[in-house]
Each structure stands twice: as structure tokens, then as C-alpha cells.
Structure 1
Amino acid sequence: MSSYQKRSAGSENSSFSHSARAMAPGNYRYPEVKTPLRRQVHAPSPVKKFGLCACTRQIRRNRSPRRVSGNVLGGFISMTHNSLKRNALDSPLCYSMDREVIVVDDELGDVEMISDDTSMEADAVENVAMDVDETAEKENEPSLEVVDLENGNFMVDDGSQGDNKKSSLVWNRPVTDVCGFEAYRKALESAENRTSKLKDRGFGNAVKERCRALLRSLRSFWLQDEEPIEDVRREPFLPLSKEDETAVKHAFSANIQNMLVTHKNSNIDITGENLRCLKPGQWLNDEVINLFLVLLKEREAREPKKFLKCHFFNTFFFTKLVNSGTGYNYGAVRRWTSMKKLGYHLIDCDKIFIPIHMSIHWTLAVINIKDRKFQYLDSFKGREPRILDALARYFVDEVMDKSEVDVDVSQWRREFVQDLPEQRNGFDCGMFMLKYMDFYSRGLDLCFTQEHMPYFRVRTAKEILQLKAE
């Protein structure tokens, strides 16, 4: 067959093919190109690394329909697709950032990276900032570029050794909290040497402050493991041992005339009859209350850093200060608070506690110097304004007499505390009053209830027998 006939036959076949496609398009079509396998990349990669330029040239050479039939061209496209897929899976990840801007906060000194052309995962680059600025290009200053991030390794290319060479600035540690911070610090130290703008902003001080913060957090973490911080809120509720409960039980059943303990400094004696007021259902007496207040003051002297500086008046103070017959009388209690007797002035205290006995009911008044207010606490939530007025007058007279200071208490608050544990029976008022003082002297809120009163009674009896408040 001559070349003319071959060309004619080819033309006829070509015409037939086009006609057949027009009539039955479903029977003649190029192979469908499937969507390439999607793989998650962390940064855009140059297209040329996947060989698309080469395949484009190959398609251009074979794009003539007279040389390549439909089946051959479809097979070539499928083959090219498979080749691209293999190259994409086998080629190393390349992270290049075409544009990055450093934003420096003048007040906080924090630096963060803003990249328009990257999609790097936040977990891999957390707390890592790169020092590339648009002004650096004008000043011919080299820029940093993340070129590899494999197996948690962090590599930075400064462009000083060519396009295909990696810088020696490599950290072979996984990106965790501490290591991420280390990478952040080292990257920014390198940035400080390369970018004059960061130098002008005093960036080194921000890095040093972050280092100090990290060291403080690590130190506190290790100290917490070695020396656990004791919860002070548990101390008022520590359980009693069986030996302590047995000792209190024997003391409650002792002869009423037996002398159980004697406190020499205060000259207070506790007999079996006195201690029995701490049994359930009994009213507290002056001896037990006054001795417990002395023990609270001794507790503060043992551990002054743990407790507030307080003064505890005994149960006879207010009846002397405000006599039912003569009224307010500062001279009757003037010598109670001399420097020789106390060793300190009342104005130097945080709180002053005054137990108030009203016929058959115990309440508490507080001169709260720390918070500049006068407080009244009643387990039945009663109010007695005259008591706070008398104490305000006493405090002014006392400070003038002992410290020669004229205190203005006109702006101090008068507070009748309502958010406090409330008494649910007719005999625990004295116990409530003691625990108000106990918790306030610890610097704690009044976080107890009526249900704790049986435990507090036994614990107070134990502390009195041991002559030591805990």
C-alpha cells in the first residue's frame, strides 16, 4: 500500500472514529484520570520537584492527534499520573516560606510569626518565631527559612551556604513544651544577630524573661513533688487519735474536785467540773474559754508566720469597759494592755477579739485593724450597735494613750456578719464563739457548720488537757 493510501486509510479511520464518538460518546473516551492520592503536607512545595515540567514537555512533543491515538494518549496520562504519585510519596518534605513578617509587640516584647504562604501545623512550630521582615530584603540581610522538620527535628536554613545546603543550626529534640521553648529561644537568638530591627527593639530582654519564667515553673514543679504544700484548711478538722479520745473520756468522768491541768502563766486551773462544760449539751464557762484564748495566743507565738497577729481579751474585759451602772469607762481597763504586760501595742495587731457575754448567750466582737472595720458575730445573727460603738471609742482612747496617735475611725465600717455558721440549738453558742476566733486567727473563712460542734468539743478538751492549741 502506498503512502497516499495509508494516509487515506488513516483519514478514513479518523473520520470514522469522530463519527462514532458523535453517535455513541459512551463507547469512545479517553481513560478517566483519577484524583491523585491526597497527602497532608505542612508547607507548599515547588511544583518542579515532582517533574511536572518534564511531563509537560513530553505532552507537547506528543500532542499531535495524527501521531497519538486516543488509547495511547490516555495510557500516557495514566502513566504520568502514577509517576507523579510515586514521586510525591517518595520525595522528602520541603518547607519553604515565600513571605514572612515579624510582628514585635512594644509593650510585651512578644514575637510571633505571620506567614501568608504556609500551612505548617501549629503543634510543630509552637512558640517558634522566624525573623524575616520585608525590610531585611532591602538591607540585603539574610533570612531564616525552615527547611526540614523530620521526626521532631528542627532545622533552619539561613541561606549562607546555598540553596540546597542545610545550616548547622539543628536541634535533635522532640518539640514538647520545654524543647519547643529551647527551639524558640535559639531561633530568636540567631534572629537577633541577623536582623537589626529586633536589636533595636531590645528583643534579648524578652528572651531572658521567658527563660526565667520557665526556670521558675520547673523549680516550683520539682519543689511541689519533694515538699507537698500542706492544705491549711484541713488543720482545723484533723481527726483525733483513739488515745486522745480515750484521754478526754476519762477526764469527763473524773471527780469534779480533781485538778486536771494548771496554766502557770495565766494562773488558770481546770478541774473536772470545769472541763465537763465541754460535754455535749453543756454551756461553756469562763475558765475554759479564757484558757483556750491563752492557748490561741501561745500558738501564734510559736508560729508567727502561720497565724495572724491577734490579741484575745478575756471574758471579763467588756463588762469592765462598759459597766451597767456607770457606762463606758476606759480607766477601768487602761492597765490591761501596757507594754510591760503584753510586749506590744494593740495598734500593731491585725485583729483584736473581745468575747461578749449577754446574760445566757455568748457572742463575739472584733476590732479588725487589718480591714479597717468593727465586726459583730452572733451565732443567732443578732445585732448590737452599742457594742461596736463602745469598741470604736475604746480603740481611739487606747491608741492615743499607748501610741499617742489620733486614729480616725469615722470611715471604718460597722459590720454585723451574716454569712457565718449558724447555731441550731440552745447550748453551742460558746463553742461557736471560740471557733469564730480560731478560724479568723488562721486567716480562714468560717467554713464549719453545726454538725462539727461535737468534734470541736472533744478537740478543745484535748487541747486544754495538753495545754496546746493546734
Structure 2
Amino acid sequence: MDGMSSYHKPSAGLNPCESSSFSHSPSRAMSPGNYRYPEVKTPLRRQVHAPSRVGKFGMTRQIRRIRSPRRVSGNGLGGFLARNYNMLKRSALDLPVCCRKDREVIDVDDEIGVVEMISDDDDTSSEVEIVENVAMEVDEKEDEPFVNRKNGNLMMVDDANKKSSVFSNRPVRDVWGFEAYRKVLKSAENRTSKLKDRGFGDALKERCRALLRGLCSFLKQDEEPVEDVQHEPFLPLSKDDVTAVKRAFSANTRNILVTHVSSNIDITGEILRCLKPGQWLNDEVINLYLVLLKEREAREPKKFLKCHFFNTFFYTKLVNLKTGYNYGAVRRWTSVKKLGYYLIDCDKIFIPIHMNIHWTLAVINIKDRKFQYLDSFKGREPKILDALARYFVDEVRDKSEVGVDLSQWRQEFVQDLPEQRNGFDCGMFMLKYIDFYSRGLNLCFNQEQMPYFRVRTAKEILQLKAE
């Protein structure tokens, strides 16, 4: 055409946007007056967050993201990069997140290079996105490993220069595991030494000792009362106690050594001498000792059973040789106003029995529902237990106004007990039967201990306190 410059028209079916080789080809030189399509500009670069590793010669590996993987599938290098991209994309999710304040993290943006891939399957070239690799240099102040927060694997820290390190997502099971384990062990040793320097180990040991002492004391709280109760009946006497008892035995027979005001019992030198070896116990010593046992129970009610102790005159009043059984003779002995409690509320009721020249013991054992008879010569007296059973029914009906069914109760003549082996310790045996039963103990003494019990009983009477 006249006055108009000719231009080259692209062939049909060819996309102008994909013909970058046509516009840039040096073989198709165009005159200055001809028009051409504008050059294809490289799109904006986008970063792929993936780890970057340092190679053997200090070179950083380049990560390529292919925009159209299908076009480069035939190319060996393109397929390799595509597969690495997918692998790195998956492993990028496992990167640890460092939130420690004692490490300084520096981001360095460094553009490594540009690679353009051309497919052999097509005459057209594909655009390749340029990816910048970012190397993270971390100043390690402590030689410690990192733990992946997602999968819990240990992360290897390469500190060849002791100044900067690059994170590598390698678990302990790989070839680097031994080195990571060594560093973990060294770090633990360093922390242990620091704790020792601060005295943490000593403080922990002391705390453990205190806990153990507290546990031992807690366990002994349940054991000590039982052990104390078992040993208290055999506590050794001091020299002063023995001297005081000897002086009382040698005192004037008419001198009043001690007086118990509430029971109105006086103990003179002559009365106390019945506790000397080879002597028979009299009523005053037995009755005062029973009063002291009741006072002991009142002082420590949790330590001893709740008992009632009749004196030596009770049974002779209840069962008279001429008139027989007579509840009215002893009805007022157990009034609630006088005692402060009902007999049915007790665990055991002790009744001393004097048979001419021999002392025995009868027990109304409410706790175990039985009537017991204890004789240091292992004698049997069923009539005594029958009379006490009748008395207990009358007493409960009179004071508590209830009936008692004794059909399930039984009579027991205790045979497994310490035996008397002389003719004068029956009264002492009877008192120790009462003493041990009121403690809730078995009868764990013998004839050889009677001299000790005599001196101890005399000491307790002089002090007006049973132990």
C-alpha cells in the first residue's frame, strides 16, 4: 500500500503470546518501520518457603518451581526438579519453629541465580519461575538440639564453625543420628553440671530425705500406740522408785502413807506391806488399785477400753451365802448420777471374787458377748457366771429399761492364761488380769514377773496414779 508500512502477519493458529521465539529470533530481522508484538515480560517472582542446604563447596542448592510440570515431563532435569519441588513442599511443613529468646535469628535474602528450562517436545519455550533461596544463619549460643514440634523428631544442628548453623530436617535415625545424640548427651551433661553448681542436687536430696522422714513418722503413728501399750506394762523402774517403795515397806505400820480422797481409802504402812513378796493382797490395796485403773481410763479414753471396776465387796453383797441372789442389795451401786454412764455402754465389767483365801476374777465381756471366769489355778465356777448373767439382765432393765437377750452369749472359763505357781500370788495375778484386759492386750506375763509387778503396784499406789 502507498504511504503505509508493511508488517508481518503471524501465521494462523499461532498464539502471539507464546511466540516469544518469533519476536526475538535474529533470523527474522525487521525493518525499522515495521511493527512487532511487545516482548513477553517475566512475571512477578514468588517465594517458596522451603529449606535451603549448603553443599560441599559452599554452594546453595537452587529450588525451582515449574509453572507447568506437564510440559517438562519429558525432560529429565525438569522432571527431577518437579519431583524435588513436591518433596521439598512436603518437608517444608516439618520445619521447626524457633521461639527461643536466647537465639538471634537473621534472615538474609540472597538471589542465587536464574535457570530457564526449554522443553524438547515443543518448539515453544515454557516460562520458568525464578525462585530465590533463603539461607537462615542462626547464631548458636548453646550446643543444643532442636525438636520438631510436629512429629517430635530430633533436628540435627551442624555447628562446624561453632558460630552459625543451618537447620536440617533429619531425624535421629539417619546417618547424622550419632552426632545429634552426642550433642544431646553433652548438652545434658552441661545442664547437670550447672544444676550441681547451683546446689540443686543437694536441695533435691534434702527434700527427699524430709519426705521419707515424714512418711516414716506417718507410718509410726499407727504402730507406736500398739508398741507402747505392749511395753507399758513392763516399763523398768528407776532407782528412786525402788528406793521409795523399800522405804514405804519399812515405815511405821500405823503411819498413813497415802490417802485417796474420792474413794476415802487410806493406805498405811501395814496395809502396803501386803505387796511385799510372799504376802497375800488385802481388800484396801486391791480396791484402791481398781480406782486408779478407772482414773487412768478417764485420762486417756482412746488408749484404754471403756470399763467398769466393781470393788471386792460387790459379789458378796449380790450373792449372800444365806439369802442367795439379791439384786436389791447392789441396785444403788450403779446409779447414773453416781457413775455418769450406764453399764451397758461399757466394753467390759470386772468383778473381783474372793473365795475364802483365794482371789479369782469374773468378767462381763459386753464387747465379745460372753461371761468369762479367770482363775490362776484354772478352776471353774459356773454358779458365779450364772449369777452375773442374771444381774446383768436386771441391771439393764432397771437402768436402761430395755431387755437383753443372752441366748447368743456364752460362758468361758479361760484356760490360756498365766498360771500361779505358789500359794500367795493369786491376788497379784487377778490385778494383772484386769490390767491387761483393760488395755485390750492378751495375758502375756508369767510367774517370774510377779516380784516386779508387786513393786510397781506399790509405786503406783504411793503416787496415786496407775501407768
Q: TM bucket by the smaller chain?
A: 0.5 to 0.7
Deviations 1:228-286 (A, max 9, x none): 82522110000111111111101111111111111000001111110010000000000
- Tell me the equivalent position of 1:249: 246
- Tell me the equivalent position of 2:418: 421
Alpha-carbon distance, 1:161 to partner: 3.6
1:289 corresponds to 2:297: no
1:223 corresponds to 2:218: yes
Alpha-carbon distance, 1:226 to partner: 9.7
Choose which of 260, 265, 272 in structure 2 pairs with 1:263. Answer: 260
Letter in 1 for 2:323: T
Bigger proportion of residues as helix: 1
1:319 corresponds to 2:316: yes
1:343 corresponds to 2:340: yes
Deviations 1:376-428 (A, max 9, x none): 00000000001111111111110110001101012101000000000000000
Choose which of 343, 349, 355 in structure 2 pairs with 1:352. Answer: 349
Letter in 1 for 2:427: G
The TM-score normalised by the length of structure 2 is 0.55
Alpha-carbon distance, 1:219 to partner: 4.8
Letter in 2 for 1:462: K
1:275 corresponds to 2:272: yes
Instruction: Quickly say closer, same or farther: Cα 1:382–1:251, change in 2 above 3 A.
Output: same
Gaps of 5+ in 1: 1-157, 173-214
Q: How does 1:29-44 map to 2 (within 5 A)?
A: none
Letter in 1 for 2:378: K
SS at match of 1:336: helix
SS at match of 1:440: helix
1:466 corresponds to 2:463: yes
1:306 corresponds to 2:303: yes
Gaps of 5+ in 2: 1-149, 155-170, 174-179, 190-209
SS at match of 2:270: helix
1:390 corresponds to 2:387: yes
Runs (4+) off by over 4 Å: 165-168, 215-219, 224-228
Alpha-carbon distance, 1:298 to partner: 0.3
SS at match of 1:362: strand
Q: How does 1:133-212 map to 2 (within 5 A)?
A: 161=153, 164=172
Deviates more, 1:228-237 or 1:246-255: 228-237
Provide the C-alpha distance between the structure 2 equivalents of 1:385 and 1:227, rounded to a whole number of angstroms: 40
Deviations 1:268-321 (A, max 9, x none): 111111001000000000000000000000000011011000000000000000
Provide the C-alpha distance between the structure 2 equivalents of 1:223 and 1:374, rounded to a whole number of angstroms: 38
Letter in 2 for 1:358: M
Provide the C-alpha distance between the structure 2 equivalents of 1:369 and 1:342, rounded to a whole number of angstroms: 18
- Tell me the equivalent position of 2:176: none
- Tell me the equivalent position of 1:204: none
- Tell me the equivalent position of 1:366: 363
- Tell me the equivalent position of 2:331: 334
Provide the C-alpha distance between the structure 2 equivalents of 1:369 and 1:440, rounded to a whole number of angstroms: 13
- Tell me the equivalent position of 1:380: 377
Instruction: Quickly say closer, same or farther: Cα 1:217–1:388, change in 2 above 3 A.
Output: farther
Alpha-carbon distance, 1:225 to partner: 7.5
Instruction: Quickly say closer, same or farther: Cα 1:276–1:219, change in 2 above 3 A.
Output: same
Provide the C-alpha distance between the structure 1 equivalents of 2:220 and 2:289, rounded to a whole number of angstroms: 36
Residues matched between the structures, number? 273
Choose which of 434, 437, 453 in structure 2 pairs with 1:437. Answer: 434
Provide the C-alpha distance between the structure 1 equivalents of 2:221 and 2:397, rounded to a whole number of angstroms: 50
Provide the C-alpha distance between the structure 1 equivalents of 2:351 and 2:270, rounded to a whole number of angstroms: 25
SS at match of 1:229: helix
Instruction: Quickly say closer, same or farther: Cα 1:358–1:223, change in 2 above 3 A.
Output: same
Provide the C-alpha distance between the structure 2 equivalents of 1:226 and 1:463, rounded to a whole number of angstroms: 28
Letter in 2 for 1:326: T
Instruction: Quickly say closer, same or farther: Cα 1:227–1:392, change in 2 above 3 A.
Output: closer
Provide the C-alpha distance between the structure 2 equivalents of 1:275 and 1:306, rounded to a whole number of angstroms: 29
Provide the C-alpha distance between the structure 1 equivalents of 2:414 and 2:221, rounded to a whole number of angstroms: 41
Deviations 1:310-348 (A, max 9, x none): 000000000000110111110100000000100000001
Alpha-carbon distance, 1:220 to partner: 3.4
